[in-house]
Homo-oligomer: A and B are copies of this chain.
Amino acid sequence: MQSFELLSRKFALHFEKSHFPATPASLYEPNNYFLGLGGKRVRPVLCLMGNELFDEIRNDAWELADAIELFHNFTLIHDDIMDKAPLRRGMETVHTRYGESTALLAGDVMLVKAYEYLSKIEGDFLHPILMLFNQTAREVCEGQQMDMDFEKQERVTLDEYLRMIELKTSVLLAGSLKMGAILGGAGERNQNLLYEFGRKLGIAFQVQDDYLDAFGDPAKFGKQVGGDILANKKTFLLIHALETATGTAADELGRLLATNEADKVEQVLAIYRACKVDEWALELKNKYLDEAFQHLDDIAVLSKRKEPLTALARFLVQREY
């Protein structure tokens, strides 16, 4: 059983190759540029870990991992166009650097290339993995559409937000694990437990992400603290505050959403604290994390095999920064 860190290093080495032909360079150079920006490669490594939870890592698992990482990068290139994001990881996004048309097409061909890697899966495993990959890909698109829709809606319920996060973020983490489990020869029950572990871990991670944006330690948190508040972004925190605040707090929150005062972040945080949104968020995170671990516990393999996934989950969700 290999740790996330070890498998990450192995995957980084494996992934460092030419994924595209040389020509037309105008199409493939943008893809190489974007892949060169790096990333944590969490999803492909989850796939490898999902395989190794049940059996030795198969050769074609590495190509499945490539497919998953390319799919993820395809979504990032297109999301950046839709979000009109100028930067990613501190560098120019593809559309900023090469124009929107090329970025659109570079994303398309990145997705096709993902399916080319997928087609390397051998034997009877190709069909179930292709089905799950397709379902996951469609759900991720649905999540992105919901996210865009929410920006135009005045109110979003907690259930709607949860569903969006599930589709946009969780299903790819869950699907990566399950696709690995399929290659590892896991039975259906174990596959589904691992999927649920990933799905709930993803939600816990997003609750934490929303929490840290408001309450994180600025010295440890990579982004500007309060960025979500300044952007009126509908997060777990804002949605819960809007659903629970009453009286003066509710009026005040409504007023703050319509302004951009210098101390808007501090004022909104004060309301969050008064409504105990911070405590609620930590409880919500722990609820999903506990449920995730319960699913992992229920998987019928020796608990020793689960250690790398347990360690990764604790690292991802209980981090302070």
Contacts and interface: CB of A to CB of B under 8 A. Distances in A.
Contacts of A142: 23-24, 27, 109
A26 B149 contact: yes
Interface residues of A, number: 36
A261 B126 CA distance: 59
Interface string A138-175: 10011011101100000000000000000000000000
Contacts of A149: 24, 26
A47 interface: no
Q: Which of A23, A81, A101 has the most CB atoms of chain B within a 10 A radius of its CB?
A: A101
Contact of A119 (B27, B134, B141): B134
Interface stretch (A33-41, A52-60, A110-118, A189-197): A110-118
B130 A105 contact: no
A138 B119 contact: no
B126 A127 contact: yes
Contacts of A144: 105
A145 to B, nearest CB: 4
A70 to B, nearest CB: 12
A138 B111 contact: no
Nearest to A23: B142
A203 B138 CA distance: 34
A50 to B, nearest CB: 20
A81 B109 contact: no
B115 A134 contact: yes
Given A104-B81, A141-B109, A24 B119 contact: no
Interface string A269-288: 00000000000000000000
A105 B78 contact: yes
5 contacts: A24-B142, A105-B144, A116-B131, A116-B135, A119-B130
